Copies of this chain bind each other. A is one copy, B any other.
Amino acid sequence: MNRRGNIVSFRPDVRVLDATIRDGGLVNNFYFDDEFIRALYLANVKAGVDYMEFGYKASKDIFSPDKFGKWKFCNEADIRAIVGDNNTDLKISVMADVGRTDFRRDIIPRSESVIDMVRVATYINTIPAALEIVEYCHELGYETTVNIMAISNASDVDIDGALELICQSHVDGIYLVDSYGSLYPEQIARLSEKYLSYGEAAGKYIGMHAHNNQQLAFANTIESMSLGVSYLDATVCSMGRGAGNCAMELLLGFFKNPKYNITPVLRFIEDYMLPLKASGVVWGYDVPYLLTGRLNRHPSSAIEFIRDGKTDYCDFYQELLDRD
């Protein structure tokens, strides 16, 4: 393997994306108050974070605005109420899910928007639909990525086919997404090299989005980075669905680049994340997530198990095995 840089160097191509609202919103149905969002925005600016993802561009025909907080939809006006014209170095991203977005209606030209990037989340069998959104957003002037989810369930042949197809598009970046938190660093390394070989030939950067089911989100993120993956997702206190993500505070602590600063994030944790946790919002590594991660399953059954206050881990494990 071809490592780039070492523990004391820094790579100028690295970009950090804060996905706290977007992945964390899956925990609390996107009900964050504006003060929280504004404080996170300011913390990210001060911390040198490169992108902040505000949420989804979800279809209001599919998801009722009565049942979700506003960051499920990311109306232009709602983002502007936080950031104004965003006269900072922090770029703003939103995510669009294939099949769950009215992108033609809801995504306006970049010249009229404070949004800089649209990330398109897709399963491996819906990539043509993802590329339709990518091309639309690219035409409108946005930076775009394709985030292939649940990659641990895909075969090598399918991944090769997907990457070939994506590399023919105008997309700027391709994300490796370990949705189930089931991949070990050795597997992340192998996949990173595959993504990088396609990406480098086609001039696309590669990103990493990890989940923490086996306490490997941070390890997998820095493993992929050491091989050349450059866009790194993290969330404050790992906030995200189920076991959550790579912790922003761990990632910022790792960097040697003086551009990044952990202190504003520590302050944000003190002032905002601890009260959020104390209010009863639950996420983060726990035994049931280890079990779904190990078995390469969607975390939904573990989320339900924890929500129900259950602790009979043995029975849960047997149930998971019975579903094979």
Contact = CB atoms under 8 A, between A and B. Distances in A.
Number of copies: 2
A274 interface: yes
Contacts of A81: none
A218 B186 CA distance: 13
B215 A274 contact: no
B184 A270 contact: no
A283 to B, nearest CB: 14
A294 interface: yes
Nearest to A219: B219
Nearest to A223: B185
A1 B263 CA distance: 36
A274 B186 contact: no
Interface string A236-255: 00000000000101100110
B7 A186 contact: yes
A270 B7 contact: no
A249 B293 CA distance: 12
Interface residues of A, number: 40
A266 B253 contact: no
Interface stretch (A63-71, A91-99, A306-314): A306-314
Interface string A207-251: 000001011111110110010000000000000000000010110
Contact of A314 (B270, B294, B314): B270
A188 to B, nearest CB: 10
A313 B186 contact: no
A224 B184 CA distance: 13
A247 B293 CA distance: 15
A223 to B, nearest CB: 7
Interface string A68-103: 000000000000000000000000000000000000
A26 interface: no
A214 B6 contact: no
Given A184-B222, A270-B313, 18 more contacts: A6-B186, A7-B184, A185-B185, A185-B219, A185-B223, A214-B253, A215-B217, A215-B218, A215-B219, A215-B250, A219-B220, A249-B290, A253-B290, A253-B291, A254-B294, A262-B317, A266-B287, A266-B313
Top 3 nearest A-B pairs (CB, nearest first) are: A219-B219, A266-B313, A253-B294
Interface of A: 1, 3, 6-7, 184-187, 212, 214-220, 222-223, 226, 247, 249-250, 253-254, 262-263, 266-267, 269-270, 274, 287, 290-291, 294, 311-314, 317
